[in-house]
Amino acid sequence: MIVPMKKLTVIVQAKDADSTVNKLRKLGVLHVEHQQAPKGKDISVLQDDMVLINEAMGILAQPEFSQKHPKAKPLSDWQFTSRHIVDLWKRLDQLKEYSRNLKKRISQWEPWGEFDPDTIQALKEKGVYIRLYQIPVRDLKNPPAGVIIKRLSTSSGVALCAVISQDKIDIPFKEFALPKAGLEKVRARLSEDMQVAESIKLDIKKYTCYITDLMRIRKSLQKDLEFQQVLKGLGQFGSLVYLRGYVPYDAVESLFKTSRSERWGMTVSEPSEEDRVPTLIRNPRWVSIISPVFKAIEVVPGYRELDISLWFLVFLSIFFGMLIGDSAYGLIFFILTLCAHKKWGSKLANKSIFILLYILSSCAILWGLFTGTFFGQSWLPGWAMPLIPALRNDRYIQTLCFFLGAFHLSIAHCWRAIIKLPSLMALAELGWILILWGAFFLAKALIIGDAFPAFAKWLFIAGPVLVVCFTKLHRNVFKGIGAGIGNLLLNFVNSFTDVVSYIRLFAVGLATVAVADAFNKMAMDVGFNSLMAACIASFILLLGHILNIILGPMAVLVHGVRLNVLEFCNHTEVKWSGFSYNPLREER
């Protein structure tokens, strides 16, 4: 649930501003709202330090420096070290760019062969001219008088030639200016630059031992910057300053106690409609396991919107099972999660991501058992028959998808109806529920070919009437009805298309099984009659199933998450317009 917030203002004398902010930071419950844009020399210095340390840490995080170097001595001056890392990286980047240019020059001049431009220049001073030309092969038979043409190489009917003469004689072909250095010198310079680059890389690697120290310093800088921004963002009124922000309703009492002991002036009020209130979500532990998904897709509901965590968890689990649709794949995901849990679980304070993955993998295993699907087909017919044979019927699965759509979206409108009670406007939500179930029977009729039941037409009559009459209650009946008609026109067709969109669960799940089955058949066609055939067949099987294992989670992200974040949230009117509650607090 989204925790109710209180708007709080703390008023103190300007001389006590530092100690007040420090005390509030220790309490760690106030989400600060700046009263003026924070700016000043202290903030600028800290921001520059943050840029420097982030740049240094970004360099040390490069894959080429992934292996940590043992620490030789403690980090004494992080600024000097960070600047040195940045300077080394810039030098390395310059060398890489110059090396790319040298390689380009080498590949450009290699067809001309080995020669020394200085020797050619010396011969010119003695009256012997050697110039480089690109000449079509057909024109080599009749060279101009007074010149000797030496063919160096030929490609695509064009010869690279050295033209030798005692006088500077121009010929009607493309001439190439001599390079500044010969290939031997360029290769030597490239080799030297590469050695220097490797030396710089080794030098940078020496500083990877300080990554933990730099992370600690960066956190400290972030907290110092946050502290200074709060100080510079305080509102001022004569000799007084005031700090304003938001706190959870259950933290107000502790703040009152602190304000009395610290002699602060403090006011508490309800946030207004115009206030930008942060969102704090608290759920039971078993529901909060879905929070890593919200963090991954970076969405936060608005303070006055609904928290869909519970329904997101329930239906994402169902969608995951249907989209993956294979017990073997589910088992592989479960084992991979178990391995990741054992390797990294001790390093994470919040292990909800592992619990979530266990649940999702289990849903895929169950769905595979229900449908009897293992690696795309029933490998053990005597034992692995589908537990629910109807789930092997395409018409039944399509009907189930439409049912899930109507049911899922009906939950959204039931929720909104409960919120609106005891107002008669809740009847408009009932109208939308009737429309959704009318859309369910219409989708079955149009897409599956089932008969449209006679009673379903009343759903399309009663539903719109309720929406038109009760969307908005107004003293002027015509204005209320007008708002209802507008709402109906905007969303009536969308309700049908939203229910139909759930058929993607059937289509993508079927595609997953089809891909696996196709690779299985290709492997069986090759057979296992010989060692070579067995290797090829095994490779085909491995390739096909790895492809499915990679694409499966992507399908869940694209389709399973979408049905919750877009379709369901459109019907709950969740716009994801919020931002997270981030209180001023000390580093823990």
Compute CA 257 distance to the chain's CA centroid, rounded to the nearest angstrom: 43
Q: Return the domain boundaries, the chain.
A: 115-181, 288-393+506-572, 395-503
**What is the SS3 assignment for 159?**
strand
CA distance 93 to 100: 11
**What mean pLDDT do residues 106-126 have?**
88
| The one-letter amino acid at 568 | F
| 53 touches 217 (CB < 8 A) | yes
Whether the per-residue pLDDT at 411 is higher than 90: the answer is yes
* 528-532-534 Cα angle (round to 5): 30
**What mean pLDDT do residues 251-278 have?**
91
CA distance 387 to 405: 24
- Report residue 405 as tokens: 């759509």
**What mean pLDDT do residues 452-464 have?**
91
CA distance 174 to 570: 67
Q: Report the mean per-residue pLDDT for the chain.
A: 88
162, 167, 182: which is closest to 126 by C-alpha?
167
Whether the per-residue pLDDT at 570 is higher than 70: the answer is yes
Reported confidence tier of residue 378, pLDDT bands at 50, 70, 90:
low
Polymer length of the chain: 588
Of 549 and 480, the structure prediction assigns the larger pLDDT to 549
| 323 touches 509 (CB < 8 A) | yes
For the chain, the helix, strand and coil percentages under 3-state DSSP, each to the nearest 5: 65, 10, 25
Phi/psi of residue 159, nearest 5 degrees? -105, 140
Q: What is the pLDDT of residue 519?
A: 84
Whether the per-residue pLDDT at 384 is higher than 60: the answer is no
Reported confidence tier of residue 588, pLDDT bands at 50, 70, 90:
low
**What mean pLDDT do residues 106-110 have?**
89
Q: What is the pLDDT of residue 66?
A: 72
Whether the per-residue pLDDT at 407 is higher than 90: the answer is yes
CA distance 281 to 536: 52
**What mean pLDDT do residues 268-281 have?**
92
Global pTM value: 0.79
Q: Which regions of 45-166 does DSSP assign to beta strands (E)?
A: 129-136, 147-155, 158-165
Proportion of the chain above pLDDT 70, given as a percent: 97
DSSP-assigned states of every residue in 84-115: HHHHHHHHHHHHHHHHHHHHHHHHHHGGG-S-
Whether the per-residue pLDDT at 560 is higher than 80: the answer is yes
**What mean pLDDT do residues 345-373 have?**
89
| The one-letter amino acid at 72 | A
Whether the per-residue pLDDT at 227 is higher than 80: the answer is yes
Reported confidence tier of residue 429, pLDDT bands at 50, 70, 90:
very high
Whether the per-residue pLDDT at 439 is higher than 70: the answer is yes
| Positive or negative torsion for Cα 273, 279, 285, 290 | positive
CA distance 463 to 456: 11
CA distance 157 to 139: 10
